[in-house]
Amino acid sequence: MSDQSLTLPSAVSEPQAGEVEINLSAGEIGQLSLWYLIWRRFLRNRLAVAATFVLLLLYLMVALAEFITPYDHLISNEDFVARAPQLPRFRDETGQFHFRPFVYGTTTELDTYNLDWVHKDDTTQMYPLKLFVKGAPYKLLGLFPSERHLYGVDAPGTVFLLGTDRLGRDLFSRIIFGGRISLTVGLIGVSLTILFGSVMGTISGYFGGPVDTVIQRFIELLMSFPSIALWAALAAAMPADITIVTRFFLISIILSLIGWTSLARQVRAKVLAFREMEFSSAATAAGASHFRIIMVHMLPNALSHIIVIATLAIPGMILAETALSFLGLGILPPAVSWGTLLQDAQTVGVVIKKPWLMLPGAFVIVSVLSFNFLGDGIRDAVDPFAL
Amino acid sequence: MADRAETILEVRNLHTHFHTESGVVRALEGVDFTLNRGQVLGVVGESGCGKSVTAQCIMNMVPSRGRIVDGSVIYHQRNGQGTDAVEITALPPKSREMRRIRGNEIAMIFQEPMTSLDPLYTVGNQLLEAINLHQDVDRTEARALAVHSLDRVQLPEPERVFASYPHQLSGGQRQRVMIAIALSCNPTLLIADEPTTALDVTTQAQILSLMRDLQDETHMSIIFITHDLGVVAEMCDEVAVMYLGKVVEQTDIDTTFYSPRHPYTQALLRSIPRLDDDQDRRLEVIAGSVPDPSSIPSGCRFHPRCPDFMTGVCEHREPTLIQIDEDHQVRCHLYGETASSQP
Amino acid sequence: MTTTPTSPSDTAVASVESGSGQSPLLEVRNLKMHFPIRKGFLKRVVGHVKAVDDVTFSVERGTVFGLVGESGCGKSTTGRCVIRLLKATAGEIVYTMPDDEPVHIEALDPESLRIMRRHIQIVFQDPYASLNPRLTLKQIVGEPLVINNVSQGQDLQDRVAELLRRVGLSPEHMNRYPHAFSGGQRQRISLARALALNPRFIVADEPVSALDVSVQAQILNLIKDLREEFGLTYLFIAHNMSVIKHICDSVAVMYVGQIVEMTTTRQLFRKPLHPYTEALLEAIPVPDPRRDRHRIVLEGDVPNPADPPSGCYFHPRCAYAQDVCRTETPPLAEHTPGHLARCHFAAELELKGMTI
């Protein structure tokens, strides 16, 4: 009568899955699927929920980039080269309060000593910020033609909330458009990772034997490459004449080429454990096929782990893309990503004189942290129900 | 009853709660028992009855999320002339005094000998650590003591075992090592938390026999926690039966098996398959299963499963522990508040 | 499950009657299961763990055959070989089909094995690991029916409801998930799943070992009831002699992969012939404080099956061992009719049994 699992003191100190919802009766909980219970636990983690909202907001912004941004991110403007951020103001020079926020105009002088343009706020010109202004025409989500932008000021005023780059392009617009590539490269890369990782991991763990050995040795080989060098080599080997879209997909594939290995190992470990669990044996005894056992008994149980691992892998992908583009091996101009934007911030001079050019880095940090918080939150929610 | 035997440990009205993120789990809700010096007390119950938590409370080692909210554990420590009563539950768990009591006065062995030993150190290392922690001896003396304690638990070739790593030993040998560590500082009270549950029957018999021999030899007091009534019958002088965080009956071993009074004890005894059964005897069952600690029934906690359930009483009022005989306490409404004169 | 069950009592009577004259329902002959021990980078085989080493027994229709022994004795491995969850290294497993056709389970191709599996089912020890937490009761109990295309839709629902009722669960719980059930209830669910295809033979691998004392009795009674109701035959694997005594008609005692004694339960308990059986009986803690507590205790540990002792595997622990036991392996010989023991001195020793 070895009921260790039942008499461990932890059965009291660490409530089991079934005990979690004290305010529900056993019958009510019984009706709830594990996914629902996991969801309820997830909602209790404030940091993870906040991170989810941040990420949703970021993705919404990049999806609606044309509407959110006031300017076309590709159009340069030599009158406003490297202008500092124009922050919306409520009080003017005289200290008078304005209900509607406004920005000042710009006066530009040439600093003959440094041979550099110097922009100053022209306090005589005030441009109130307006919502839903008319501007350059575009197609929202590629479908709906429109020329309204979320915010803007009347010409000849300008509103560069986060300043401009060295060609006078609005940095905020560039960051949002850059996020389109940087944030989606992670998602696509991770989808490919999940696909490779779970298929290879499942095959390796379920069938074992020589198949397993071959796959494991191959994974070890891949993992032993220095990843940045491998990425760089593969990226450098890409033909130069391919379109931006192709290049983008190829980079996603390159990133997931190494990313899948760790996922495959973890899926394999799970499958190995599930194979020994008696519910798989019971299914075998009932005549279930290998396919059914994998699809009904193994993958659904491994899915929560896969989601956690995948979520935690996205920031790595974002960082990798940023790193590649920063080195000039990833996304190439005129396409923008956070990595290409950060290329502008490579010199000390920029860091000292034009610090706003480092702002794309802040977006990288926020999104990477949010993905990490989200992944941790999912893991904490999944853990008590995991096998 | 205090006049004949000397009490070594008193547990009074112990309440221990665990604060989890989903609410309070009331693990112990009234645990009372008394242990006399030199006796073996069996604490018996099914999963979730709180027997292991009780042991943790006695050692003052309740996990961080748990709190003793009421009641006390009083240890009567021998000094030159008489005894000092030490209220263990009033001591800070990490205090010097508590650390002295653990090991020197009270030692504990656990269910899983595999995980209670550190796989990275030899048996000798772990024994010496325990000895050096509590005794002021030099290295050669400590080593001699360690080898002697391995010999005392009837391990063959104690010198070889001294130098082995835990994984080189069998489950039974590991449990012997655990007992050797626990006894290395000659505690007066040993708490054994399901020490044979993970072992095979023949190994279990060896360990039980060893513990009996050691008890005969040292006259230490033992609290033996188990779910196996057979083990209780073999080992114990007194029995406390627990159900869902409460002691429902405490009496001597013979009365427990031959004239138990609590319906739970009675039902438990009827439900176990016995070797001397007629093969066609249908096992009597206790209806239902042990409720989840988070959804405890009102009134008497056993009432939904009780064959002697009295409507209107059991589901409303919580029974108190009633002294029905000199050495027999029962927590059941059947015996009323004034039933102490019953034979 | 292609035919609706006939009146349960008929089946039971029929199988008991057929027990004497006909061939046994299951015969296991010289079953061996050797697991290779691999070492080193190239995973070379350096030896074998003889988990099951030449095991022969047969199970009569309508009876409960017990396999008892300590951990590592090979009892569960034997059970898994019988239903081909493991492919045995050698030996024959012959199952008699309802039309009296013998089928060699060890030699079946995957398709025939699938068909075969309707007849033989298994119940596992661990009530937590044996149910997939992502599926509802309906999906779990109905899985064998779905896999074998026996039933679907409303019919599936009705059958699952009926099965749940049979094992003492409420059919309304069909849409609940296993986490809402206690250990005992989960074992009932496992039994319902095992019964779904209306099998004739069930391997019960320590089905009550992980349960609370008060729940154990419920499940044992249920196993007994189902046997009568469906005319089932069980291979019952356990380490607890009291449970074996309670439920089995005949027993085989296993030690280090071998059967050391085999006979009817009554005979085994009354007059054991092998010293290991005697020791097992002695070792069981008896819930009776008036019984003498000081008894002979078996010394030493179960040997490592990868490196068993010479001669009789039991000799290092045996109180009666002689020189011959160290050198010669005793055969499993029939000493009295229907009573086999693997001991050189089975005929001479006067071993202590239980008074029944």
Inside any domain, residue B328 = no
Cα of A44 to nearest chain B Cα, Å = 10
Predicted local confidence at residue B22, as pLDDT: 66
Give B 263-282 residues with CB within 8 A of chain C: 267-269, 271-277, 279, 281-282
Cα of C228 to nearest chain A Cα, Å = 23
Secondary structure (DSSP) of B149-184: HHHHTT-SSHHHHHT--GGGS-HHHHHHHHHHHHHT
Domain count of the fold of chain B = 1
Question: Residue A181 is encoded by which pair of tokens?
Answer: 């590539």
CB B110, CB A10: distance < 8 Å: no
Integer Cα distance of A228 and A313 in angstroms: 15
Inside any domain, residue B293 = no
Q: In what order do the strands lie in the sheet with A97-111?
A: A89-91, A97-111, A116-128
Judged against a pLDDT cut of 60, whether residue C21 lies above it is answered with no
Predicted local confidence at residue A15, as pLDDT: 33
The residue segments making up the domain with residue B161 are: 117-186
What percent of chain B is modeled with pLDDT above 90?
Answer: 26
Integer Cα distance of C123 and A282 in angstroms: 8
Q: Does B65 touch chain A (CB under 8 A)?
A: yes
Mean of the pLDDT values across residues C157-182? 89
Q: Are strands B189-193 and B106-109 parallel, antiparallel or unpaired?
A: parallel
Inside any domain, residue B131 = yes
Integer Cα distance of C254 and B94 in angstroms: 49
**Residue A321 φ then ψ, to 5°:** -60, -45
Integer Cα distance of A116 and A130 in angstroms: 32
What residues form DSSP beta bridges with A134? A148
What percent of chain C is modeled with pLDDT above 90?
Answer: 48
Secondary structure (DSSP) of B189-237: EEEEESTTTTS-HHHHHHHHHHHHHHHHHH--EEEEEES-HHHHHHH-S
Cα of C75 to nearest chain B Cα, Å = 14
- Please tell me which of the candidates B172, B228, B258 has its beta carbon nearest to residue C301: B172
- Please tell me which of the candidates A7, A23, A44 has its beta carbon nearest to residue B227: A7
Q: Give the Å distances, CA to CA, from B85 to A40, A381, B72, B206.
A: 49, 46, 12, 35
Q: Which chains touch B (3 or more CB pairs under 8 A)?
A: A, C
Integer Cα distance of B272 and B260 in angstroms: 15
CB A317, CB A337: distance < 8 Å: no
pTM: 0.80
Angle at B120 between CA B118 and CA B122, to 5 degrees: 80
Cα of C286 to nearest chain B Cα, Å = 5
CB C219, CB C207: distance < 8 Å: yes
Interface of A with C (CB under 8 A): 1-3, 5-6, 16-18, 26-27, 29-34, 277-279, 281-289, 292, 296-297, 300-301, 385, 387
Tell me if B290 and C220 make a contact (CB, 8 A cut-off). no
User: Tokens 């709180």 identify what position?
Assistant: B50
Pick the closest to residue A130 from A173, A167, A101 (CA basis): A101
User: Which positions ≥6 away from B205 have C-beta within 8 Å?
Assistant: C282, C283, C285, C295, C297, C298
From chain C, the residues in CB contact with B271 under 8 A are 213-214, 216-217
Pick the closest to residue C241 from C75, C56, C66 (CA basis): C66
Integer Cα distance of C260 and C281 in angstroms: 14
From chain A, the residues in CB contact with B52 under 8 A are 7-9, 12
Sign for the pseudo-dihedral over CA of B124, B126, B127, B130: positive
Predicted local confidence at residue B313, as pLDDT: 86
Pick the closest to residue C346 from C327, C354, C355, C324 (CA basis): C324
Inside any domain, residue B6 = no
Give A169: exposed, middle or buried? Use CB within 10 Å, 0-12, 13-18, 19+.
Answer: buried
Cα of A387 to nearest chain B Cα, Å = 21
User: What confidence category does residue B341 fall into, taking pLDDT thresholds of 50, 70 and 90?
Assistant: very low
From chain C, the residues in CB contact with A297 under 8 A are 132
CA neighbours within 13 Å on the CB side: how many for B121? 13
Predicted local confidence at residue C30, as pLDDT: 93
CB A178, CB A336: distance < 8 Å: yes
Mean of the pLDDT values across residues C322-345? 92
Question: Residue B168 is encoded by which pair of tokens?
Answer: 């080189």
Predicted local confidence at residue B2, as pLDDT: 41
Instruction: Classify B252 as helix, strand or coil.
Output: strand
Integer Cα distance of C211 and C222 in angstroms: 14
Give C329: exposed, middle or buried? Use CB within 10 Å, 0-12, 13-18, 19+.
Answer: middle
Predicted local confidence at residue A21, as pLDDT: 34
Give C 97-136 residues with CB within 8 A of chain B: none
Domains of chain A, start order:
78-168 (no CATH), 173-381 (1.10.3720.10)
Integer Cα distance of A230 and C288 in angstroms: 73
* Cβ neighbours of A100 (radius 10 Å): 10
User: Tokens 């154990």 identify what position?
Assistant: C216
Cα of C241 to nearest chain A Cα, Å = 11
Q: Give the nearest chain C residue to A31 (CA atoms).
A: C176
User: Tokens 């943790």 identify what position?
Assistant: B56
Give B 79-98 residues with CB within 8 A of chain C: none
Q: Give the nearest chain B residue to A17 (CA atoms).
A: B22
Integer Cα distance of C222 and C216 in angstroms: 10
Question: Residue C101 is encoded by which pair of tokens?
Answer: 């056709």
Q: pLDDT tens, B29-66?
A: 889 999 999 999 999 988 778 888 899 899 888 888 88
More confident residue, B281 or A366: A366
Question: Residue A133 is encoded by which pair of tokens?
Answer: 């202004």
Give B 198-217 residues with CB within 8 A of chain C: 200-206, 208-209, 212
From chain A, the residues in CB contact with B23 under 8 A are 22-23
More confident residue, B45 or B112: B45
H or E stretch covering B27: strand B23-36
CA C319 to chain centre: 29
Q: In what order do the strands lie in the sheet with C44-59?
A: C44-59, C26-39, C90-96, C102-104
User: What confidence category does residue C196 fall into, taking pLDDT thresholds of 50, 70 and 90?
Assistant: very high
Helix A244-276 with A171-207: angle, nearest 10 deg: 40
User: What confidence category does residue C356 fall into, taking pLDDT thresholds of 50, 70 and 90?
Assistant: low
Inside any domain, residue B157 = yes
Sign for the pseudo-dihedral over CA of A238, A244, A249, A251: positive
Inside any domain, residue B307 = no
Q: pLDDT tens, C46-91?
A: 888 889 989 999 999 999 999 999 888 899 999 999 999 988 999 9
- Please tell me which of the candidates A16, A29, A285 has its beta carbon nearest to residue C83: A285
Inside any domain, residue B270 = no
Q: Are strands C339-341 and C258-264 parallel, antiparallel or unpaired?
A: antiparallel
Pick the closest to residue C247 from C272, C264, C274, C224 (CA basis): C224
Secondary structure (DSSP) of A81-139: TTPPP---EEE-TT--EEEEEEEEEEEEEEETTTTEEEEEEEEEEEEE-EEEEEEEEEE
Based on its alpha-carbon atoms, the radius of gyration of chain B, rounded to whole angstroms, reads: 21
Q: Are strands B238-243 and B66-78 parallel, antiparallel or unpaired?
A: unpaired
**Residue C240 φ then ψ, to 5°:** -95, 110
Pick the closest to residue A238 from A222, A255, A251 (CA basis): A251
Predicted local confidence at residue C144, as pLDDT: 93
Predicted local confidence at residue B342, as pLDDT: 40
Q: Give the Å distances, CA to CA, from C285 to B179, C96, C242.
A: 20, 39, 10
User: What confidence category does residue C17 fall into, taking pLDDT thresholds of 50, 70 and 90?
Assistant: very low
**Residue C230 φ then ψ, to 5°:** -110, 5
- Please tell me which of the candidates A1, A13, A44 has its beta carbon nearest to residue B63: A13
pLDDT in tens, chain A (387 residues): 333 332 223 333 333 333 333 344 445 566 677 778 888 888 888 899 999 999 999 999 888 888 888 887 777 777 777 777 877 778 777 778 878 888 887 777 777 777 777 777 777 777 888 888 887 788 877 778 888 888 877 777 777 878 787 777 888 888 888 888 888 888 888 888 899 899 999 999 998 888 898 999 999 988 888 877 877 788 778 887 777 778 888 888 887 887 888 889 999 999 998 888 889 988 988 888 889 999 888 888 888 888 888 888 888 888 888 888 888 777 777 788 888 888 777 777 777 778 888 888 889 899 989 999 998 888 888 876 666
Amino acid making up residue B189: L
Inside any domain, residue B179 = yes
Q: Which chains touch A (3 or more CB pairs under 8 A)?
A: B, C
| Of B132-136, C57-61, C173-177, minimum mean pLDDT range | B132-136
Q: pLDDT tens, C146-162?
A: 998 888 889 999 999 99
Question: Residue C269 is encoded by which pair of tokens?
Answer: 């308990």
Interface test with B, best of C213, C219, C250, C280 (most B CBs within 10 A): C213
Q: Does B295 touch chain A (CB under 8 A)?
A: yes
Tell me if C216 and B271 make a contact (CB, 8 A cut-off). yes
Q: Which chains touch C (3 or more CB pairs under 8 A)?
A: A, B
Pick the closest to residue A56 from A374, A386, A385 (CA basis): A374
Q: Does B186 touch chain A (CB under 8 A)?
A: no
Question: For chain C, what is the HEC assignment?
Answer: CCCCCCCHHHHHHHHHHHHHHCCCCEEEEEEEEEEEEEECCCCEEEEEEEEEEEEEEEECCCCEEEEECCCCCCHHHHHHHHCCCCCCCEEEEEEECCCCCEEEHHHCCHHHHHHHCCCEEEECCCCCCCCCCCCCHHHHHHHHHHHCCCCCHHHHHHHHHHHHHHCCCCHHHHHCCHHHCCHHHHHHHHHHHHHCCCCCEEEEECCCCCCCHHHHHHHHHHHHHHHHHHCCEEEEEECCHHHHHHHCCEEEEEECCEEEEEEEHHHHHHCCCCHHHHHHHHHCCCCCCCCCCCCCCCCCCCCCCCCCCCCCCCHHHCCCCCHHHHHCCCCCEEEECCEEECCCCCCCCCCCCCCC
**Residue B160 φ then ψ, to 5°:** -70, -45
- Please tell me which of the candidates C185, C282, C302 has its beta carbon nearest to residue B289: C185
Amino acid making up residue C337: P
Instruction: Classify B43 as helix, strand or coil.
Output: strand
Predicted local confidence at residue A29, as pLDDT: 60
From chain B, the residues in CB contact with A6 under 8 A are 47-48
CB B322, CB B274: distance < 8 Å: no
Predicted local confidence at residue C131, as pLDDT: 92
